[in-house]
């Protein structure tokens, strides 16, 4: 069974995406460890956020070029970078490298950051579910009339 030219192009696109994702992940991990090693935690958090944002933006933009119905490029980049920063902050918090347990204002900020992440995840996945629901509902409504 031979593959069509479009299938080969799609396969090559996913390979390129995997390579870009590996590069982005490697840079983010290197930024994280660089900040931890030189004891500049802010470098870790900011580096991971910036690298992940632009990496996710590049990956999403690459896919939107090859799939015209792909939308939400910026939304994917923002959600990916915010979640990766949140994971880094949690990892630093649990490893005692982030001295916020003594500072009540820092813990309030961390709680609020948790609420922001929950909102992002809720809207990111909730909006997709609502769109699919409306498509199904409109299809049933058109079939009834």
Q: Which domain holds residue 125?
A: 101-145
Please answer whether residues 82 and 120 qualify as being in contact, where contact means their C-beta atoms are separated by less than 8 angstroms: yes
- What's the domain count of the chain? 2
Domain check: are 7 and 62 in the same one? yes
Neighbours of 109 (CB within 10 A): 13
Please answer whether residues 100 and 112 qualify as being in contact, where contact means their C-beta atoms are separated by less than 8 angstroms: no
Q: What is the pTM of this model?
A: 0.69
Euclidean distance between the first and the last CA atom of the chain, given in angstroms as a whole number: 44
User: Rounded to whole angstroms, how far apart are CA atoms 142 and 28?
Assistant: 48
Please answer whether residues 120 and 83 qualify as being in contact, where contact means their C-beta atoms are separated by less than 8 angstroms: yes
72-129 pLDDT, tens digit per residue, is 778 888 888 888 888 888 887 777 766 666 677 777 888 888 898 888 888 877 777 7
Domain check: are 27 and 14 in the same one? yes
């Amino acid at each position: 069974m031979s593959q069509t030219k479009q299938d080969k192009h799609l396969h090559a696109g996913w390979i390129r995406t995997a390579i870009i994702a590996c590069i982005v992940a490697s840079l983010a991990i290197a930024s994280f460890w660089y900040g931890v090693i030189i004891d500049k935690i802010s470098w870790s958090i900011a580096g991971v956020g910036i690298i992940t944002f632009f990496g996710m933006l590049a990956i999403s933009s690459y896919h939107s070029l090859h799939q015209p119905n792909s939308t939400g490029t910026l939304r994917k980049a923002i959600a990916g970078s915010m979640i990766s920063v949140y994971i880094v902050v949690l990892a630093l918090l649990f490893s005692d490298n982030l001295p916020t347990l003594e500072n009540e204002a820092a813990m309030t900020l961390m709680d609020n950051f948790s609420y922001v992440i929950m909102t992002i995840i809720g809207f990111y996945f909730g909006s997709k579910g609502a769109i699919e629901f409306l498509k199904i509902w409109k299809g049933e409504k058109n079939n009834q009339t």
